[in-house]
Amino acid sequence: MDKRTEISSLLNRVLRGRGNALFLTPPGYQEGKSLLLSSPVYVKAVRGLKDIREIERRRTENPENFGALLLDYEFGFRLEEKISRLSFTDSDITGVYYEYQPEKSEVIDPATITLYPKKRKQYRVFNQVLSDSPDSYGEKVERLKEYIARGDTYQINLTTEAYFTLDGDLTAFIIDLLKKQSAQYITIINTGAHLTISVSPELFFRVRGDKILTAPMKGTIKRGKNLQEDEIRKEQLGNSAKDRAENLMIVDLLRNDLGKICEFGSVNADRLFEIETYETVHQMVSYISGKLRAGTGLSDIITALFPCGSITGAPKFRSMEIINELERRKRGLYTGSIFFFTPEETTANVAIRTAELFADSDTPKRYRGVLPLGSGVVWDSTPDGEYAEILKKGEFLTRRHNDFRLFETCYFDGEKIPLLDLHLNRLKGSAKFHLFLFDEAAIKEALRENFTPGQELIMKLLLGKWGELEVQTRPYEKIYRHLRVLLSDNGVNSESQEFYFKTTLRDFYDEEFSCALHAGYDEVLFLNEHGRITEGSWTNFFYELGGQLYTPEVSEGLLDGVLRQKLLAEGTLRERNISPEDLAQCARVFMGNSVRGLMPVAEVRSGKNRLFYNKN
């Protein structure tokens, strides 16, 4: 396996001291930097704009220093006189700034980090409780719809909070979050009082020189079960008039905000309605830029833009009044922003997917956590639908991450891998779907390093989320016999994405194959929920009927095998679905893959010894 630094070592350094922070942009993203910051030389509590101006002054005087600013959502009330007294007093702290000297600021190359520790540590999340019941949240949704009907607002981001308890290794918990939630603007910062973990995909703004860029997110759709369905879902979102209208509403709000600080005529919606993909949803994103007026500083930008319109609603300040009335609590950092300052630029995220963990003073390795969750309420929203959305968003806390890698099993003939291009193309598609980094040059090099010229090998290539590579090899041994195949009693669901991709989550396949071997068979054959044949545990299924070779359609719930792809492309194979009862009509039956080719089947039987096919 390629040698990388375990991310747990970086996380442990964050945990060692107050103000230590990790700003992380995973490999694969073109923009952004990753830095490990420690031992801040200056810490400033933020209560109002005068404190932001003081931070601005320090950054002007010490441009070589790095900085981090955590700014609560409630700071936005300081920026509009008519709502400035809604939720706190003048003494309330609404943010904190940390400043770091260059010698305490370490640039991190994410390509040198692995998310897969040699020894996996344990944790558990339990006692998850929402601050709102279905009824109380539903009442707020209905009240919001009344405001929308009156024209007070067009949409509102309504939030609640999930409280939970974490026992065990904190770094293991964070690593699982990073695997489950892809994001470009990740921050892990130790404030001393608590640990903030922000796995945010949304850019609030970025300033480089006199250019400012903002990228609001609004509009989502659920992912598809495979690559084909996923592309259809993306197209549906991109063409959705409703989602485009909601996105454009926020674009107009932010264009107006940028117009307050940018040169006349310089504000442009550069890219509208682009689709970005995350683990469970596709998200609609638009990009707006402008040229800052001469003399525009951090305090001017925050006054004009904060908080981001995508997490309030439109119009912004009236929406904030309504949010304050209904939520009746402080949001804190959630839907505020985390700012990251380098000598070259300022980057601020929208602090969503942001949890805070507090150490339990009575129990070692126990933490009390809070994770705010939100849903966007519009005119046609329903109470049940909105509550279901926040429950769905909170599932990743209690759902243990199914730690997996993608893999390909290839045949090396002593000189080359004959079907390498097909293997790489399939792996690239799987990586795209699962948001894994795919570096074809690095993969080819890793394979070449494990070639043994003149010796036939079976090569297994494993790919991790951040491009981690491992190659395993074993000698190739021919199989000369006809296979005995057992029909499994446990079917597959063609709507489950797990059956369309080659991953290390193979417990189901391995257990069924083991049972077949124990019963004296060579392979097991699965049926889907419709009672039709799909595939084997390590092979695709093929059959000959009327002189033509057939295989089931991928949509039946099976892996699009490399041998299968090759034969279809050559025109020697066609797709046609089949039930076990029809096997008796087949001239021949095969199980096959790219390593073994087509292997003749001697018989297919059920667990109750019913014979469905016999070559004789």
Identify the bridge partners of residue 23 per DSSP, sorted by sequence position.
Answer: 35, 187
Could you say which DSSP state residue 595 is in? T
Q: Give the DSSP letter string of 119-140.
A: S---EEEEEEEESS-HHHHHHH
How many other CB atoms are found less than 10 A from the CB of residue 274? 14
User: Is residue 218 annotated as a catalytic residue, yes or no?
Assistant: yes
> How many Å apart are CA 214 and CA 207, to the nearest integer?
9
Contact in structure between 566 and 419 (CB atoms under 8 Å):
yes
Contact 376, 227 (CB under 8 A): no
Helix (H) or strand (E) holding 257: helix 241-259
CB-based contacts of 95, cutoff 8 Å, min separation 6: 45, 46, 51, 69, 70, 71, 72, 75, 336
Q: CA-based angle 122:123:127, to the nearest 5?
A: 160
Residue 6, burial from CB neighbour count under 10 angstroms (0-12, 13-18, 19+)? middle
Set 145, 179, 218, 502: catalytic member: 218
Residue type, 468: E
Specify whether 202 is catalytic. Answer: yes
Q: Which amino acid is at 93?
A: I
Give how far the C-alpha of residue 46 lies from the chain's centroid of Cα atoms, to the nearest Å: 32
Q: How far is CA 438 from CA 29, 186, 464, in A?
A: 12, 21, 9
Please say whether the beta carbons of 283 and 114 come within 8 A.
no
Q: From residue 33, give the alpha-carbon distance in Å to each of 64, 178, 341, 576.
A: 16, 17, 11, 50
Separation between Cα atoms, residue 135 and residue 425, nearest integer Å: 49
Closest by CA to 183, choosing from 311, 346, 352, is 352
- Given 74, 99, 161, 202, the catalytic residue: 202
**Residues acting as catalytic residues:** 202, 218
